[in-house]
Amino acid sequence: MVHARADLLRRRARGLTMCGIAGVIEAGPSGPDGGSALAVVEAMVRALHHRGPDGAGVVPCPRAGAVLGSTRLALLDDAGGSQPWRFDPGDDASPVLAFNGELYNHPELAAALTRAGSPAPRSSCDTETLARGWRALGSSLWAQLDGMFAAAIVDGDELVLARDPHGQKPVFLWREPEGRALVFASELGALLAEPRVRRRLDPAVLVELGAIGFPLGDDALLAGVVSLPPGHELRVRVGEDGRLRETLFDFRGAPAPRAEPPLPDPRAAAARVDDPVDALVASLPGVVASHARADHPVGLFLSGGLDSGLLAALLVEHAQGPVHTFTLADDPEHPDLEAARTLAAKLGTVHHERIVSADEVEAAWPLAVAIQGLPAAPTVAELGGAWARQWVKAALVGDGADELFAGYRYHQVPHRTIGSMAAGYNRMVRQGAVPKGAGDRLRAQFQAFKDAEAEGPLGTPTALMRLFAEDRLVVNHLRRWDHGALAHGLEVRLPYLARPITAVAERLPWSALVRDAQGRPIPGKAPLRAAARRLLPESLSRDLTERAKIAAPSALAKVRAELNARCRAWMPAGHREGHPLAACALDEVSLVSIDLFAALYLLDASALGVPADALPVARARELSVAQLYARHGEALDAYWRGLELASPQPSPKTAVKPQPKSKPADLSALLHDRWTRGADRYADAALELETYTASNALLAELADLRPGMRVIDLACGTGATSRAAFERQPELAKVYAVDWSAQMLDEARRVLEGSPVHFAQAPAGALAPALLPVLGEQRIDRVLCNAALFQFPDYAGVLADLRQLLAPGGTLAFTVPEPTQGKAIAEVLARHDLYPLRGAKTSGFRPSPRQGPPGRPGARRGPPPQPSFEQRVAATEAAGWTLVHSQVRAVSMAAEEHVRWLLLPMFRHPSWAQVPDEELRPRLIEALRSEGERYPVAWRAVVVAPG
């Protein structure tokens, strides 16, 4: 009867390709808490139904004490890809294979195996190619595969598990504590079908998520559940003593097996070409063609940027039918929509756009957490999967290019990134959110960074790049796409992780990707940009290579802000303040996601009122995030109260010291050194804080920018003002971005990459000498200066220089904060004895005579007084300029944003000098949130013209 049930499942799966695997190997019958292995695997397969809705199969392998199961999504050879795959049909003793993924070089490998004497195939499916390759090559096969795969093979008395080199396809493992059983599955939730897997939180993984944003080693939040490392093979068999014996083998870099005739090596072609750009030009078209291979339509998620745009252009050339492209955002004005729409029109794709609302994200939230096994809100992967599945069964994405070719900002500033990671961990230690031993892996990682630094100037950057490419990429990109899209039966493919492309990237050191021959920063992904210019017509390549990078999460940034407001309404009063894991949450969405994970994965079924065997996906379908606290708040409170965490740490003795940051560039002596020390943090804030976004938008709007104009961005900082100017008027002839800081200009170059900008380093009193030789006979139509004009020591000298540079009719537009901008904040902090902070050490601080020393009678309890608007205009008119017009714009900022602003070195109160941010930040946030969630900010934009 058992075998009949398994046979029935096999017949339903006949001819289909699977996209989820599960299995068990154990010594003897299950213990008193376990179910029969066959029943457990059948339950896991049912839990993975969404990954392969076209069929399922379960096969017992008694000799090994194992059971294999799979689900299948049909992409190739609908009539011949039955799974699990029996090597010899009708022979119950022959090996059995369960395979998740796609092999892009399987036609070449299949032909080579036939030439080498392997029996002729009985189908054209890549599953059979994998089986034939295993029989001919054994473990040497894995290094020959170009694709994404997770494979389970029972061969004789042994179970063999293997995972592709980048971890595109997941394999979660749970080992029975006594060493008598191992259970595996493609998703975390399916493992809970095994009754012995406990619903217990792994605090180490949670600490890593809270401190650095991803778990080390791609491990799971359930205690005892780990991932099979990418690029590894695990062999398991039952030993004579009744315990499992395991052997782990890293096959990355393994030599090609010897065979006659030789088998194709997916790394060989790239290795034979010395120039990386030549190698990419030679490899990319073939890689995209192999990723487009399917018996069903293949589409592409398109942002309009370099990574996805280059793939789209190549896909149009190689696809056998119409190419569908998909762009998703939460705002009709999001720049991705226009860029993707324009590119799709040029390429002739069938283009689809979708505007996502907060209601849609809220509705998808419980299922996203259940599928991902992570406390995170839905992303483009989950929201776009079901939508794109209406037209295609597989879609290409551009993920991986940034990690391989140093396209992210953190690649340029590795020491700052490590310092930020260490600061996040230190904060959690001080707040008592790190149980004993839970930070051991993080501390070891920081020690690894320190050890790498001793290897030379490239040691630490290389170590960081490796960590992000091997761990962060897997969790934050590959798992999101794999789980999120396959939840709706959509297979996602990543051409940039193909072996020919990774073979090129692996040859390039960090310095070759982010610095030129003189050691100066260069735009990220330079080899890929150069390849695009050679592969595509100039009309396409120019748009793709010159567009500034926009981070993917920005597509849902507006929705997240709205969800944060909803979360504050849903959560009971004091919930965040009393939550033991609040330190792990960046915002309210993060904290609600943690509570959702607890409801789906950690709480007993009785506490939720659901069937005892309800797995996370089933629980999610009955759960409303808006009703989470109303229906399950008491159960959650009881669970969190029982969670043992560490006591708050009074000192950072157990924390990690941040890595030293790179030395800043030489700066003008005219400006205070606090801007030097704070340039890196100011760079982040200027691009992300709502107050700067609003002031820059107001400035660009009031400046009356017109096509063909030449514009100076004075004290350009990170280039945020220039970016706002181009968004307001894309047809500007030129922007001259001027700053006194080489470090700030480096930031601006990355933000404005591809835009018509000339960068000039010059002190405020030497603008004309720096720009007149560049301008020649040309003159400037507009000068923009956001928030910095009145901080120049020689204000009159700046205005005199601008007179020389402005064309007739030219104007200067600048913004100033309204005088009351910081008053409400200062008053709240003063009521909480935080402005200035009492008891803080102020050694080394020399106050100005006007301010007086902090802590003494007469010390000011607030910011130094700002000149009124009238005083500023009077100063400008005294220099011979005329007021044209002005306008005020108000926005509101969350308490956390205000605190981030206050802790920037250039705005930080002197009495806080010796108080660490990790200690000060939560005190400031608590004080502000006690009197309000948001506070107003007002800016005035002013336009003046030389008289």
Q: Is 940:915 a contact under the CB 8 Å cutoff?
A: no
Spans in the chain with pLDDT lower than 70? 1-18, 29-35, 73-82, 255-273, 547-555, 644-690, 743, 764-765, 790-794, 818-824, 835-872, 901, 904-911, 913-914
Rounded to whole angstroms, how far apart are CA atoms 925 and 631? 29
- 736 - beta bridge partners? 712, 758
Q: Is 934:908 a contact under the CB 8 Å cutoff?
A: no
The Cα diameter of the chain in Å comes to: 97
Mark 400-422 as b/e (b = at least 16 C-beta within 10 Å). bbbbbbbbbbbbbbbbbbbbbbb
Q: Is 740:764 a contact under the CB 8 Å cutoff?
A: yes
In this prediction, residue 82 carries a pLDDT of: 66
CA dihedral 229, 232, 238, 239 (to 10 degrees): -100
> In the structure encoding, which two tokens stand for residue 244, read together?
């499992």
Cβ-in-10-Å burial (0-12, 13-18, 19+) of 884 comes to middle
3-state secondary structure (DSSP) of residue 935: strand
Rounded to whole angstroms, how far apart are CA atoms 410 and 467? 12
Q: Is 300:388 a contact under the CB 8 Å cutoff?
A: no
Cβ-in-10-Å burial (0-12, 13-18, 19+) of 272 comes to exposed
Whole-prediction pTM:
0.70
Mark 99-131 as b/e (b = at least 16 C-beta within 10 Å). bbbbbbbbebbbebbeeeebeebebbbbbbbbb
| Residue 57 to residues 13, 14, 191, 221, Cα–Cα distance (Å) | 6, 9, 17, 28
Rounded to whole angstroms, how far apart are CA atoms 252 and 229? 11
3-state secondary structure (DSSP) of residue 799: helix
Rounded to whole angstroms, how far apart are CA atoms 41 and 21? 9
Rounded to whole angstroms, how far apart are CA atoms 496 and 469? 12
> In the structure encoding, which two tokens stand for residue 184, read together?
């595996």
Rounded to whole angstroms, how far apart are CA atoms 790 and 816? 8
Rounded to whole angstroms, how far apart are CA atoms 173 and 452? 31
Rounded to whole angstroms, how far apart are CA atoms 586 and 327? 27
Q: Is 758:735 a contact under the CB 8 Å cutoff?
A: yes
> In the structure encoding, which two tokens stand for residue 216, read together?
């080390």
Contacts of residues 759-763 at CB distance under 8 Å and 24 or more positions apart, as own/partner, are 760/736, 762/738, 763/668, 763/670, 763/671
Rounded to whole angstroms, how far apart are CA atoms 784 and 724? 11
- 237 - beta bridge partners? 158, 245
Rounded to whole angstroms, how far apart are CA atoms 363 and 17? 30
Q: Is 434:553 a contact under the CB 8 Å cutoff?
A: no
What single-letter amino acid sits at 62? P
> In the structure encoding, which two tokens stand for residue 895, read together?
């308490």
Rounded to whole angstroms, how far apart are CA atoms 221 and 598? 10
Cβ-in-10-Å burial (0-12, 13-18, 19+) of 139 comes to middle
- Hey, CA dihedral for 355, 361, 364, 370, is it positive or negative? positive
Contacts of residues 171-174 at CB distance under 8 Å and 24 or more positions apart, as own/partner, are 171/21, 171/227, 171/228, 172/220, 172/225, 172/226, 172/227, 172/228, 173/225, 173/226, 173/227, 173/228, 173/234, 174/224, 174/225
Residue matched to tokens 């380093």: 761
> In the structure encoding, which two tokens stand for residue 166, read together?
């980048």
Q: Is 784:814 a contact under the CB 8 Å cutoff?
A: yes
> In the structure encoding, which two tokens stand for residue 644, read together?
């043992």
Q: Which of 112, 153, 154 is nearest to 129 (CA)?
A: 112
Q: How far is CA 129 from the centre of its chain?
A: 34
DSSP string, 563-574: HHHHHHHHSPTT
Rounded to whole angstroms, how far apart are CA atoms 802 and 945? 10
Rounded to whole angstroms, how far apart are CA atoms 762 and 203? 50
Q: What are phi and psi for residue 724, nearest 5 degrees?
A: -60, -35
Cβ-in-10-Å burial (0-12, 13-18, 19+) of 599 comes to buried
Q: Which of 418, 515, 505 is nearest to 468 (CA)?
A: 418
